[in-house]
Amino acid sequence: MSTAQYIDVSVADTIATVALNRPDVRNAINDALRTELMATLERLANDSDVRAIVLTGKGAAFCAGGDIAGMQQRLNEPPGQIAFNGWKRQKRTHQGMSFLHGISKPTIAAVNGAAVGLGCDLALACDFIIASERAVFAMSFIHRGLIPDGGGMYYLPRRVGLARAKELIFTGRRIEPEEALHIGMIDRVTKADTLLAEAQQWAASLSQGSPTALALSKGILDESFELSCEQVLALSREAQAICYTTTEHRQSVAAFLDKSKK
């Protein structure tokens, strides 16, 4: 288990479960939580015993977004410093979101409650989203006079299409799990008491294959919308050449040939 203040981590059977742990403020993200989350993800990314990551929240919410206390503090800063300080904070946030999105292992957001604002972006940065029947989603930035700043303007259109993403961002309205599933914003809905177990089981099934092949496939797929077919094929050639050299590939071919001889 983790000893961090705002992040709780457990690892069982190669699956790491990472829980945001500020339930008293619905797991709102402040500087300390963001720093701990980034450090945790970096550690898990480099841990060969971890094959997949499940991200969830403690208590009733997944993540209520950015911490209002931080917003209030920003408003009280000297006017001449607000923009640059905000830029620096945004840069740290974006580094964390980009790392989560690009981590070379399957990631699943197990959304146990509200995922709004930056919390919704956080879920969307994962490869897959499974939601409790008690979950609710909202790109609620517009209600604070803000724009989606955690990658949602990139991730959301790729899940639901451009026009629908505009509607959800322009209105900031609540999306219940069944609608989110229907429009492709999330991938599965389940009961609250089985959410974590189902997410962990799903993570295990996604991570049974070669870690090298998984990492290379994920990296190419995540870029495929921005690349031409020929560019994807070129990256695939390079990745396959690496796969040819791996222990997993060699053992798999040897096992198949050995079985065919019997």
Let me know whether 121 and 103 are in one domain: yes
In a domain, 1, yes or no: no
**Residue whose token pair is 């991200």:** 55
Active site residues: 94, 149
Local confidence band at 262 (pLDDT 50, 70, 90 cut-offs): low
Q: What percent of the chain clears pLDDT 90, i.e. is strictly above it?
A: 84
Let me know whether 163 and 184 are in one domain: yes
Q: Is the pLDDT of residue 3 over 90?
A: no
Decide which of 163, 186, 206 is a domain's last residue. Answer: 206
Let me know whether 140 and 192 are in one domain: yes
pLDDT of residue 75: 62
Q: Is the pLDDT of residue 178 over 60?
A: yes
Query: What's 207's DSSP letter?
Result: T
pLDDT of residue 2: 47
What's the rounded mean pLDDT across residues 53-67?
A: 95
In a domain, 2, yes or no: no
In a domain, 92, yes or no: yes
Let me know whether 46 and 174 are in one domain: yes
In a domain, 222, yes or no: yes
What's the rounded mean pLDDT across residues 134-156?
A: 95
Return d(Cα 156, Cα 234) in angstroms, integer: 27
In a domain, 219, yes or no: yes
Alpha-helical regions (H) of the chain = 31-45, 68-75, 79-102, 118-124, 152-160, 162-171, 177-182, 195-206, 211-223, 229-244, 247-261
Query: Given strand 174-175, what is the order of strands in its sheet?
Result: 114-116, 136-138, 174-175
Which of 153-167, 177-191, 212-226, 248-262 is predicted least confidently?
Answer: 248-262
Let me know whether 47 and 166 are in one domain: yes
In a domain, 171, yes or no: yes
pLDDT of residue 50: 98
CATH number at residue 232: 1.10.12
Let me know whether 146 and 36 are in one domain: yes
Let me know whether 223 and 95 are in one domain: no
Tokens of 54: 């499940």
| Residue of 135, 102, 132 whose CA lies nearest to 194 | 132
Helix, strand or coil, per DSSP, at residue 6: coil
The backbone torsions φ and ψ at residue 63, rounded to the nearest 5 degrees and listed phi first, read: -165, 125
**DSSP string of 139-152, one letter each residue:** -GGGGGT----SSH
pLDDT of residue 1: 45
CA atoms within 13 A on the CB side of 228: 3
pLDDT of residue 81: 77
Q: Is the pLDDT of residue 51 over 90?
A: yes
Tokens of 216: 């290379």
Let me know whether 111 and 234 are in one domain: no
Read off the pLDDT of residues 32-47 as tens digits, 9 standing for 90 and up.
999 999 999 999 999 9
Whether 29 contacts 221, CB under 8 Å:
no
Which of 76-80, 164-168, 169-173, 221-225 is predicted least confidently?
Answer: 76-80
Number of domains composing the chain: 2
Let me know whether 57 and 105 are in one domain: yes
Local confidence band at 190 (pLDDT 50, 70, 90 cut-offs): very high
Read off the pLDDT of residues 124-139 as tens digits, 9 standing for 90 and up.
999 999 999 999 999 9
User: For all residues of the chain together, what is the average pLDDT?
Assistant: 93
Q: Which domain holds residue 90?
A: 7-206
pLDDT of residue 72: 58
pLDDT of residue 30: 92
Let me know whether 124 and 234 are in one domain: no
Let me know whether 152 and 23 are in one domain: yes
In a domain, 229, yes or no: yes
Helix, strand or coil, per DSSP, at residue 46: coil
The backbone torsions φ and ψ at residue 24, rounded to the nearest 5 degrees and listed phi first, read: -65, -25
User: Taking the complete model, does pTM exceed 0.85, yes or no?
Assistant: yes
What's the rounded mean pLDDT across residues 50-59?
A: 98
Q: Is the pLDDT of residue 68 over 80?
A: no
CA atoms within 13 A on the CB side of 189: 17
Tokens of 149: 């700043």
CATH number at residue 23: 3.90.226.10
**Counting beta carbons within 10 angstroms of the beta carbon of residue 207, is it exposed (0 to 12), middle (13 to 18) or buried (19 or more)?**
middle
Tell me the residue type at 253: V
Read off the pLDDT of residues 82-122 as tens digits, 9 standing for 90 and up.
788 878 888 888 899 999 999 999 999 999 999 999 999 99
Let me know whether 223 and 140 are in one domain: no
Angle at 115 between CA 41 and CA 16, to 5 degrees: 30
**Residue whose token pair is 């619905």:** 26
